[in-house]
Amino acid sequence: MSKVTYYYDQNTLSYKKIKKSKWRRVKKTGVFLLASLLFGGLSLIFLGQFVESPNEKYLGRELANMQLNYDLLSRKFDQTESVLNDIQERDDKLYRVYFEADPIPSAQRVAGFGGVNRYKKLEGYDNSDLIIESSRKLDILNKQIYIQSKSLDEIVELAMNKEKLFEHIPAIQPVANKDLKRMASGYGWRWHPILKYRKFHAGMDFSAKIGTPIYATGDGVVKKAVSGGGYGRHVVIDHGFGYETLYGHMNKYLVKRKQKVKRGEIIGYVGNSGLSSGPHLHYEVHKNGKVMNPINFYHNDLTAEEYELLLKMSQQENQSMD
């Protein structure tokens, strides 16, 4: 029941009912509705600021879950980078040093990607920064793994060549200890028995009776097997890797040019040919065209005591036999 209002009529000295017009009722209703809408809108804004809707709660959980996954992925990236850095350090400071290879420059290992923005297509999303950063880390990690993989391939090849080097490098005495009479002369300046003046002796003289076997000191290919000259009958073996050995004053050689020989194979016999003052083997080692002291190449078949004795004998100021 609507409320009835009255007013006092001074002319009639009585109260009369106020009659409301239709327009007034419409206006009042409109004001009420507008106020209600305004209040409702303000309430929604307030609730939106301080109270999460179910959809916002869902999206918030999804965002938090994605952030957690990103953090886990980032930690895995860091762990992988740590393992890779350890491998890279061992590669440069151990493997490549052992096999006499230059380390890979750090600038090459950590180089980025130049040119156009390769992540432009990932821009414009709500979480573009996270996506771009993850993609960048993954690309750099993949590149470092690729470079390290190529380096390890190279190390494997170097290791195989190193094994081959160990087989070819001169590493034993050319005359067995049991057949030696004495170490006639070592490497260095010596008095020449025939020319009668001090001359650099570029090898070692092993005194033994004529016919004593002479052994190839490493795998290789015969470069020379000739007679004549100061070395008399002599053989030169090319071992590869810059190494050559010479065996002089032979009584007889058993090999020919371009023949392959193995370490320990008999290539001839001790003699007294050429410019020699008695039966012996003159033995030289060359590396990249330079003569080396043969005493440094007997590590395969001498004990420490035998090596020390041989070293002492080779350093004596005795006369050479050639």
* Residue range 27-57, pLDDT digits in tens: 777 777 777 777 777 766 766 666 666 676 7
Distance CA 23, CA 10 (A): 27
The better pLDDT of the pair 70, 220 is held by: 220
**Other residues' Cβ atoms within 10 Å of the Cβ of residue 259:** 15
Give tens-digit pLDDT for 278-313.
Answer: 898 999 999 889 998 888 787 655 555 555 555 555
Report which of residues 303 and 20 the model is more confident about. 20
Mean pLDDT, range 113-125, rounded to an integer: 67
Q: Enter the pTM of the model.
A: 0.51
177-314: CATH superfamily = Glucose Permease (Domain IIA) (2.70.70.10)
The pair phi, psi for residue 142, each rounded to 5°, is -60, -40
Which range has the worst mean pLDDT, 101-115, 246-260, 267-281?
Answer: 101-115
Q: Which pLDDT score, from 0 to 100, does residue 271 have?
A: 94
**Is residue 309 within 8 Å of residue 200, measured between CB atoms?**
no
User: Are the C-beta atoms of 203 and 190 separated by less than 8 Å?
Assistant: no
Element (H, E) at 290: strand 290-292
pLDDT on residue 42 = 72
CA 315 to chain centre: 42
